[in-house]
Chain A
Amino acid sequence: MSLLLEANGVTFRRQGDLVFAPVDLQLAAASALVILGPNGCGKTTLLRLLAGILRPAEGQLLRNGSTAFLGHASALKGDLNCRENLDFLRHFHGRAGLSSSQALVRTGLAGLGLRPARTLSAGQKRRLGLAGLLVAPRPIWLLDEPYASLDDAGGELVDSLLAEHTATGGGVVLSTHQRKPRLRAAHGELVVRKAAPEETA
């Protein structure tokens, strides 16, 4: 089984202090990893590290395959409509997945294609973000709180998208502090801990 993502003793420092205790993790193809931990323990920081947005202070990080990162900010342009947002992602990442219309239908946004993204509700923005994963397929998904602000149907949608993605050989790392995902694929759990205050010489 090939590894999509591997981290050995990865840490990150903010103002010189460790954000979380060193993390080791492995993500195999067709599997998922759930990152657990209380608010403020560094889940988002860890995901941004895994995405390559942040550089680790110590430790090694290996990525095999391109990465999609869905964070708190939805990375959408409010002044463009949904369809334009998706079209941009398709071209920007240069990988043809679903068409924009198909992705909108799949995420339950059918008929909203011409609405400017800023007029969407929080849950709808979240769904549009998920649609962005579908139009430009990438093997590694890093999802920060994918269930946030989604209704029950939205939660189901995330679960089924995750199942489909892992079934086709993709890997997912997601963080959550509320709803335990019902994952059909093999998945591990990782608890992020706050770093103990360290004594510097």
Chain B
Amino acid sequence: MSLAALPALLARDLRLAVRHGGESLMPLFFLFAVLILVPLGVGPGPNLLASIAPGMVWVAALLASLLALENLFRPDFEDGTLEQWWLGHLPVTGLVLIRLLSHWLITGLPVIIFAPLAAQMLYLPDQALGVLLLSLLIGTPILSLVGGLAAALTLGTNRGSVLLSILVFPLVVPVLIFATGAVSAAADGFSPRAHLGLLAALLVLALTLVPLAISAALRLNIE
């Protein structure tokens, strides 16, 4: 196996993402849609907005991650590039991780970059900003992993998207709870350490198990 395959795949995925410019900007668009629509809906009171800010940013991150899932493996499945992963000389879990990395770079990273701006717009207390970023940094990769699993499981079906959301929702409950819990704790002046520790534990668990499950699911689906 040559390790050169992994950067080659990453470079190609990102190149394709850039080429689909508009689609790749959807996550950011969603973040801002949530940021603007929710205050319009609940009113601009700083206290109320500050208390729901962590949840809103996280829900936006979740939606952004969900949006791109349908295209995570499906185009490759249809044009025959996916089955080339099994020609024998490459570790499929490595390729899966690379694909998830590119998904995270497209959906997770933009949300993290614009999260400080979102925090300002929602009056999140300053002392919670660092924790918000940290929780996103640990948590969004889990969203990519779990979402990737759902995408892989539904690959062989022809009505993937509804099913995809049903599968993702239960799996991300703990992520949402620990991440928003951390930010709320920090905003209220408590230590977010326990929450972040649990979130990190989840990330480690997901990193070890999910790529294996994804490879198995992909394999079953291409047969």
Residues of A whose CB lies within 8 Å of any CB of B are: 48, 51-55, 63, 66-69, 71-80, 84, 88, 91-95
Query: Count of chain B residues with Cβ under 8 Å from any Cβ of A?
Result: 24
Question: Is B222 interfacial (CB-CB < 8 Å)?
Answer: yes
The one of B2, B15, B80, B81 in contact with A84, judged by C-beta atoms closer than 8 angstroms, is: B15
Q: Nearest chain-A residue to B79 (Cβ)?
A: A73
Min CB gap B11→A, angstroms: 8
Residues of B whose CB lies within 8 Å of any CB of A are: 2, 4-5, 7-9, 11-12, 15-16, 19-20, 78-81, 83-84, 86-89, 222-223
Q: Nearest chain-B residue to A129 (Cβ)?
A: B80
Output the residue of B9, B15, B88 with the most chain A CB within 10 A.
B88
Q: Are A66 and B88 in contact (CB under 8 A)?
A: yes
- Listed by A's residue number, 27 A-B pairs whose Cβ atoms lie within 8 Å are A51-B86, A52-B86, A53-B83, A53-B222, A54-B223, A66-B88, A69-B83, A69-B87, A71-B83, A74-B79, A75-B79, A75-B84, A76-B79, A76-B81, A77-B16, A77-B79, A78-B79, A79-B20, A80-B15, A80-B16, A91-B5, A92-B5, A92-B8, A93-B2, A93-B5, A94-B2, A94-B5
Q: Are A71 and B80 in contact (CB under 8 A)?
A: yes
Bound together, the chains give a CA A79 to CA B222 distance in angstroms of 23
Output the residue of B7, B15, B78 with the most chain A CB within 10 A.
B15
Min CB gap B90→A, angstroms: 8
Residues of B within 8 A of A63 (CB): 88
Min CB gap A97→B, angstroms: 14
Output the residue of B2, B19, B80, B84 with the most chain A CB within 10 A.
B84
Q: Are B80 and A73 in contact (CB under 8 A)?
A: yes
Min CB gap B35→A, angstroms: 31
Q: Nearest chain-B residue to A76 (Cβ)?
A: B79
Q: Are B87 and A52 in contact (CB under 8 A)?
A: yes
Q: Are A69 and B16 in contact (CB under 8 A)?
A: no
Bound together, the chains give a CA A181 to CA B136 distance in angstroms of 58
Min CB gap B131→A, angstroms: 39
Min CB gap B108→A, angstroms: 23
Output the residue of B4, B5, B11, B81 with the most chain A CB within 10 A.
B81
Min CB gap A50→B, angstroms: 11
Bound together, the chains give a CA A68 to CA B11 distance in angstroms of 22
Contacts A79-B19, A88-B12 given: A66-B84 contact, CB under 8 Å?
Answer: no
Q: Are B87 and A51 in contact (CB under 8 A)?
A: yes
Min CB gap A60→B, angstroms: 15
Bound together, the chains give a CA A66 to CA B88 distance in angstroms of 7
